[in-house]
């Protein structure tokens, strides 16, 4: 039996990580976490200035580039440039998402396409392109950001929920197809996290507090609390984890309402 150096289980020294959506929110936190674990971190975003800001915050082992994951050409160019510079990509974290909050009967075809195009198509394009690189090198970890909405839904979240459930099956399919090449593919499913995407909720105290009371911890998560799960799935600590969904939801999906029975 080969003994592991358990002190290095969560280290990513010498590895190259690409974070799509690194300008803000969970993507920014993921980039910081991966860099702190030792990875050379490429901060990518359609907001190139925001990505550069994240890279500047991190410092020496981070760099930035513009990336629109919904555009095949942009994805291919970004992946080619990273490979030309670093020869490989060891970790991919894809976080970009959009939500149009309204009942399905009032959705327009254009709104549905908008949500589907970024949340599902974009994730597919970047995972496919990076998966090809990882497959050639016989190693890698792909982490897609799903949501508790892949499992539970509420009025006004139908299209978003459908894409996040689709991401789970997409990740599982990639895991099944790339496992033989040593590539792991997993999803993180956050609960309510304070990010630019959820800013409209934060401005409504009743809505914000209702979500806080729905989970076991009784509060929202910060984006920084997603960095640990990302580093775990990227690292050798998760070397036998693939095709999985890691719920990071404060117990939202574990509990049944907020009534405390007299037991």
pLDDT at 261: 63
Per-residue pLDDT at 195: 87
Measured distance CA(100)–CA(82) in Å, rounded: 33
Record the tokens describing residue 162, joined without a space: 């459908």
Q: Residue 121 carries which DSSP code?
A: I
Residue 208 annotated in active site: no
The alpha carbon of 223 is separated from its chain's Cα centroid by a whole number of angstroms, namely 11
The string of DSSP codes covering 24-66 is SHHHHHHHHHHHHTT-EEEEEESSHHHHHHHHHHH-TTEEEEE
Looking at the chain, the whole-number percentage of residues with pLDDT higher than 70 is 97
- The CATH number of 10-248 is 3.40.50.720
Place of tokens 């799935």: 233
DSSP H helical ranges for 97-157: 109-116, 123-137
Residue 1 has pLDDT above 60, yes or no: no
Name the token pair of 8.
């290095």
The tokens for 71 are 């555009």
Lowest mean pLDDT among 27-31, 47-51, 202-206: 202-206
For the ranges 92-101, 102-111, 189-198, 216-225, the lowest mean pLDDT is seen at 189-198
What does each C-alpha distance from 151 to 5, 156, 184, 233, 254 come to in angstroms? 37, 15, 22, 21, 11
* Predicted local distance difference test score (pLDDT) of residue 259: 66
Q: How many CB atoms neighbour CB 125 within 10 A?
A: 20
> What whole-number distance in Å separates Cα of residue 90 and Cα of residue 16?
5
Nearest CA to 92 out of 178, 216, 221, 210 is that of: 178
> Mean of the pLDDT values across residues 127-156?
97
Please state, as a whole number, how many other Cβ atoms lie within 10 Å of the Cβ of residue 55: 24
Q: Give 143-163 pLDDT, tens digit per residue.
A: 999 999 999 999 999 999 999
Distances from the Cα of 38 to the Cαs of 58, 81, 212, in angstroms?
Answer: 11, 21, 34
Tell me the average pLDDT across 227-244.
98
Round the average pLDDT of the chain to a whole number and report it.
95
Q: What is the pLDDT of residue 253?
A: 95
Q: How many CB atoms lie within 10 A of CB 6?
A: 9
Look up residue 148 and give its DSSP letter.
Answer: G
First and final CA of the chain: distance in angstroms? 48
* β-bridge mates for residue 20, sequence order: 44, 94
How sure is the predictor about 201, in pLDDT bands with cuts at 50, 70 and 90? Answer: confident
Residue 194: band (very low, low, confident or very high) from pLDDT cuts 50, 70, 90: very high
**Run of H or E residues at 176:** helix 158-178
Q: How far apart are CA 50 and CA 71, in angstroms?
A: 19
Task: Look at residue 23 and tell me whether its pLDDT is greater than 90.
Answer: yes
For the question of whether the overall pTM of this predicted structure is more than 0.85, the answer is yes
3-state SS assignment for residue 74? helix
In the chain, what are the domain boundaries?
10-248
Query: pLDDT class for 2, splitting at 50, 70, 90?
Result: low
pLDDT (tens digit, 9 = 90+) per residue, 50-104?
999 999 999 988 999 999 999 999 999 999 999 999 999 999 999 999 999 999 9
pLDDT (0 to 100) of residue 258: 66
Q: Which of 160, 208, 211, 240 is catalytic?
A: 160
pLDDT at residue 108 in the model: 98
């Amino acid at each position: 039996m080969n003994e592991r150096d358990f002190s290095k289980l969560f280290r990513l020294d010498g590895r190259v990580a690409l974070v799509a959506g690194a300008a803000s929110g969970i993507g920014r936190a993921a980039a910081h976490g991966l860099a702190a674990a030792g990875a050379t971190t490429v901060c990518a975003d359609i907001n190139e200035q925001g990505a550069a800001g994240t890279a500047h915050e991190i410092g020496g082992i981070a760099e930035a580039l513009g990336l629109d994951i919904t555009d095949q050409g942009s994805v291919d160019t970004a992946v080619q440039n990273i490979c030309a510079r670093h020869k490989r990509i060891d970790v991919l974290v894809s976080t970009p998402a959009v939500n149009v909050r309204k009942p399905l009967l009032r959705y327009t075809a254009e709104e549905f396409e908008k949500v589907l195009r970024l949340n599902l198509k974009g994730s597919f394009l970047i995972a496919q392109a990076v998966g090809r690189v990882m497959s050639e090198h016989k190693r890698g970890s792909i982490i897609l950001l799903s949501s508790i909405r892949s499992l539970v839904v509420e009025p006004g979240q139908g299209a978003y929920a459908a894409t996040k459930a689709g991401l789970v099956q997409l990740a599982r399919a990639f895991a099944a197809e790339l496992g033989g090449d040593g590539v792991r593919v997993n999803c993180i499913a956050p609960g309510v996290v304070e990010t630019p995407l959820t800013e409209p909720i934060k401005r409504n105290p009743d809505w914000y507090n209702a979500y806080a009371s729905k989970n076991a911890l009784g509060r929202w998560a910060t984006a920084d609390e997603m960095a640990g799960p990302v580093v775990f799935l990227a690292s050798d600590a998760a070397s036998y984890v693939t095709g999985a969904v890691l719920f990071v939801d404060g117990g939202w999906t574990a509990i049944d309402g907020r009534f405390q029975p007299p037991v």
